[in-house]
Copies of this chain bind each other. A is one copy, B any other.
């Protein structure tokens, strides 16, 4: 089984050469003093903890799983100590608000750290990821007293966070939730109800767990307009702000599941637990949306991070394993056979993985750069523009990265043949772990509906124009060195196809309410391929001036050309599927299925 190696070279290339972050950060108030040396030191330290502390937990944690015993949840061996190390390194507050002890680092940098954390051990990574999400919601919407009481302890990791949305009868359709919040008369509320699928909702790694719970006030309007957000701590803070009385809430059980087995997925029962409103009453969903852009990108990064791990495992095996001979004649005649890399089909698999992973790495950094502008820019127009880009790209970053990750992990298993199916090789775990990233934080179908509904049809295609303008600006400023036939023409054609398909969807939707839903996943997929094509063009254009090894350059160039020749053509079929409309999707009645 290959050891996880943090992909620092490519991360540095993406940050420094593709996105020129040194200059980018300098242009933004609040992060203008982050320089690439600081960033590099942070990346190196993160790589160390990921390789040395987190990666070794990954397989053992999967085998052992979390334990539930009468409401007490114990993380697998080593997790508590790793959490301690992680917190002591200050990693929990890397992107956090400096007023409360956060380091205030840009998302462009934080994302790269997230890739390594999630890629080395996703089950562990979920704990800080959910805490960071909770901190975001709190920082944006909570009253100052709450922030003062909780935020610093959460950035430090002393207290962890959890997000409690789903209930047994509803996940996607949160308007149906039944958990109740009744005013106690002292400004606090009593919460009663059951939440399921609560990742790390209970564990022994931190001294307290702060839950962010969606619930309904007694007078709440029906549906999604009657949902409020509450902060509900496992232990109520005492007068000194330390851990005090246990709140009446408990973990009823943890799920047996396909993957991310080391993490506890909890059923949480609230029995009149004390909580405080975060943000306005009945505006809970809006509060959640603040963090959702970050969380959805984070899930995309998760998938991609694990997929990088899968690539490393497959590549190591392909180099080591000898089997058969090269079609052009023996490459290592002194051995019984050549290694797997001589076989074109094995190369196809590895190149597909590499092209998707490296395209994905550039893409998450691209989305993160818009998040940075949206957060740090002091030019209102720039900020609004960046917020629109974030809105458009977020569903793609969640769904396309994780779909690509599953494809990658399945290939990474296939390269190993029978050994890919055996647990000790580790490749099958990546498939099982990645699979959840396509489901949670809004299924990829829900992401596709968000993209095609709110962000495309409702926006009348205006958001897409911002993206197209961005590509056009790149093409006119930076693309002069790119091969016209192999890179520029395919990119331009794919972009034109995306625009055409967008028009088609807009037309279809005018008199067919089912058209967006029928096209949604194909449309998101198409956008994803076009976005990756743009990323690969950016990557290729950054190569000539980059101070990287010749081997790195040659590998990048070859991988990029593979992407344009072999993967991008998928756009054509997606266009045809979208054009086919909703008729065949909607024709059948229920009994005909």
List chain A positions with a Cβ less than 8 A from chain B.
166, 170-173, 176, 196-197, 255-259, 315, 319, 323-324, 327-328, 336-337, 341, 343-351, 354, 406, 410, 413-414, 417-418, 420-424, 428, 431-432, 435-436, 438-440, 443-445, 448-449, 513-514, 516-518, 520-521, 551-552, 554-555, 558-559, 561-562, 565-566, 569-570, 572-573, 576-577, 580, 582-593
Contacts and interface: CB of A to CB of B under 8 A. Distances in A.
B562 A584 contact: yes
A577 B436 CA distance: 30
B517 A418 contact: no
A262 B559 CA distance: 41
Contact of A323 (B173, B256, B590): B173
A99 to B, nearest CB: 36
Given A518-B345, A569-B573, A584-B565, A319 B513 contact: no
A576 B586 contact: no
Given A315-B593, A423-B257, A513-B328, A572 B576 contact: yes
Contacts of A324: 172-173
Contacts of A521: 345, 348
A176 B336 contact: yes
A592 B348 contact: no
27 contacts: A166-B418, A176-B337, A256-B424, A257-B421, A257-B422, A258-B421, A319-B593, A344-B516, A344-B518, A344-B520, A344-B582, A344-B586, A347-B585, A348-B518, A348-B585, A410-B435, A413-B435, A413-B439, A421-B439, A552-B592, A554-B588, A555-B588, A555-B592, A562-B584, A565-B577, A566-B580, A569-B576
Given A258-B423, A343-B517, A570-B573, 13 more contacts: A176-B337, A257-B421, A257-B428, A258-B428, A319-B590, A344-B582, A347-B585, A349-B445, A413-B435, A414-B445, A555-B593, A561-B587, A565-B577
Contacts of A590: 319, 341
Given A324-B173, A517-B344, A258 B588 contact: no
Chain A's interface: helix, strand, loop or mixed, by majority? helix
A561 B581 CA distance: 12
A338 to B, nearest CB: 10
A309 to B, nearest CB: 15
B435 A417 contact: no
Contact of A327 (B257, B343, B435, B516): B516
Contacts of A443: 414, 417
Given A520-B344, A554-B592, A436 B421 contact: yes
Nearest to A571: B573
Contacts of A558: 584, 587-588, 592
Contact of A418 (B315, B337, B428, B439): B439
| Residue with the highest number of chain B CB atoms closer than 10 Å, among A258, A354, A552 | A258
B345 A445 contact: yes
A435 B420 CA distance: 10
A348 B343 CA distance: 36
A172 B197 CA distance: 42
B421 A435 contact: yes
B514 A418 contact: no
B337 A173 contact: yes
B173 A351 contact: no
A418 B440 contact: yes
Contacts of A337: 173, 176
A104 B175 CA distance: 60
A276 to B, nearest CB: 27
A323 B166 contact: no
A347 B424 contact: no
Nearest first, the 6 closest Cβ-Cβ pairs linking A and B are A344-B517, A555-B592, A258-B428, A569-B576, A344-B518, A562-B584
